[in-house]
Amino acid sequence: MDFSFLSNPDYPILKAFWGNIQLTFWSAIGALILGTVLAGMRVSPVPLMRGFSTVYVNIVRNTPLTLIIIMMSQVLYTQLGLKLASRGAGAQGAIDFLYNQNFRLAVLGFILYTSTFVSEAIRSGINTVPAGQAEAARAIGMKFTQVLGIVVLPQAFRAVIAPLASVLIALIKNTTVAAAIFSAEIAGLMATMMENEADKFVAIFIIIAAGFIILTLPVGILLGRVAQKVAVKR
């Protein structure tokens, strides 16, 4: 099998994978925060917040990620004029702007989408905490934010590490959808390579598949171990 494309500077495979890793990194942090907030709202005493969280999760979760990412560019940026990057001078400035803008729009799209799955995972984690924990916390006079923040969520997080690992792995794979609006990632590069080096398509697929296995496998194994270690024994 011919792997000569690996040394071809036209095909920056590692750089493209680095793009996916960066997308994953920022999206994961954002989705964890937004997802926790959504889960907190879902169990809060304020009916409006509960309603909002429920509606948000059910709408966004049922929309294809492809559509969300494209709407980030064509609705949020083109129509609503949301700028997430500043434009420098000259042609290079315009190129840099488009790169940063689309990268950040993609990250925002991934955060909005992935947070719904994080929220659902945390909510199911809250369900694994025995009611006595919250009742005891309330009995000693804690208010809702304390019950949730000090007693329930720390236990819930321990229970949801395994489901969150699946969400993270799904996110790593989903970052390829950024290809719809952002060029510096692996799916778009793969399509270009497939067109130009069609005779080596099996080798190209093997290399890129291997890349994803290298990215996802350790996450699953590592977080699986962590999940076992921190699990609350009941």
Partner 1 sequence: MSSNLAVLYDIPGPKARRRNLILTIVFLILLAAGLWWVYAKLDAKGQFDWKLWKPIFQANTWTTYLLPGLWNTIKAALISVVIALPIGALLGVARLSDHRWVRWVASVIVEFFRAIPVIILMVFAYTLWFTVFGSSSPLASVVIGLVLYNGSVLAEVFRAGIQSLPKGQTEASMAIGLSKSQMMGQILLPQALTAMLPAVVSQLVVILKDTALGGLLLMGYNELRRAANTAGTNLKDQLQMYVLIAVVYIVLNLLLTSTASLLEKRLRRGKRGPRELAVMMTGAEAGGGPSMVVTDEQGNQTIA
Contacts with partner 1, residue ranges (CB under 8 A): 43, 45-49, 52, 58-59, 62-67, 70-71, 74-75, 79-81, 126-131, 134-135, 138, 143-144, 147-148, 152, 169, 173-174, 176-177, 179-180, 186-188, 190-191, 194-195, 198, 201, 205, 208-209, 212-213, 216-217
Asked if 60 and 68 touch (Cβ cutoff 8 Å), the reply is: yes
Write down the least CB distance from residue 18 to partner 1, Å.
Answer: 16
Write down the least CB distance from residue 178 to partner 1, Å.
Answer: 10
Asked if 125 and 227 touch (Cβ cutoff 8 Å), the reply is: no
Asked if 164 and 121 touch (Cβ cutoff 8 Å), the reply is: yes
Provide long-range contacts, Cβ within 8 A and 24+ apart, for 216-225.
216/169, 216/172, 216/173, 219/165, 219/168, 219/169, 219/172, 220/165, 220/169, 223/161, 223/162, 223/164, 223/165, 223/168, 224/162, 224/165
Q: Shortest CA distance to 25 belongs to which of 212, 175, 161?
A: 175
Write down the least CB distance from residue 222 to partner 1, Å.
Answer: 15
Measured from the Cβ of residue 171, the count of other Cβ atoms closer than 10 Å reads 22
Please, what is the angle between helix 13-42 and helix 153-174, to 10°?
140
Q: Which is nearer to partner 1, 6 or 88 (CB)?
A: 6
Q: Shortest CA distance to 15 belongs to which of 167, 172, 189, 225?
A: 189
Q: Which is nearer to partner 1, 95 or 209 (CB)?
A: 209
Q: Which is nearer to partner 1, 22 or 128 (CB)?
A: 128
Q: Which is nearer to partner 1, 49 or 96 (CB)?
A: 49
Q: Which is nearer to partner 1, 6 or 213 (CB)?
A: 213
Round to whole Å and give the CA distance between 39 and 30: 14
Q: Which is nearer to partner 1, 52 or 96 (CB)?
A: 52
Write down the least CB distance from residue 47 to partner 1, Å.
Answer: 7
H/E element, 132: helix 131-139
Write down the least CB distance from residue 173 to partner 1, Å.
Answer: 4
Write down the least CB distance from residue 74 to partner 1, Å.
Answer: 6
